[in-house]
């Protein structure tokens, strides 16, 4: 079992990533994940969507009012990296 990694983003950043259709992918054996619309390699694993950060914080959607103070709230998610191949 791999050790989980804590990933943090502002709600406003996640809203932008969601609007661009990006997901968080992780290449097995890599130190960190990356945001993309599709995996860079066939064996990369989608480990999270922007909405997963919202759900972990108890939200069910992005706020419509960008002036809302919570829009700049720091949201985090603990993600377990995919196992590295042998």
Each residue's pLDDT tens digit, 11-68: 889 999 999 999 999 999 999 999 999 999 999 999 999 999 999 988 888 766 566 6
Asked whether the beta carbons of 12 and 67 are under 8 A apart, the reply is: no
What sign has the CA pseudo-torsion 81, 21, 52, 57? positive
Nearest-angstrom CA–CA distance, 84 and 23? 20
- Of 75, 44, 28, nearest in space to 36 by CA: 44
For range 4-8, the mean pLDDT: 95
Asked whether the beta carbons of 35 and 17 are under 8 A apart, the reply is: yes
Parse the chain into domains and list their residue ranges. 5-60
* pTM metric for this prediction: 0.86
């Amino acid at each position: 079992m791999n050790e989980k990694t804590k990933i943090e983003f502002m709600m406003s950043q996640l809203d932008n990533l969601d609007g661009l259709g990006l997901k968080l992918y992780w290449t097995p054996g890599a130190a960190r994940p990356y945001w993309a619309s599709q995996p860079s390699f066939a064996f990369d694993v989608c480990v999270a969507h922007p909405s997963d950060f919202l759900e972990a914080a108890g939200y069910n959607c992005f706020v419509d009012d960008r002036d809302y103070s919570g829009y700049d709230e720091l949201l985090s998610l603990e993600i377990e990296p995919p196992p590295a191949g042998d």
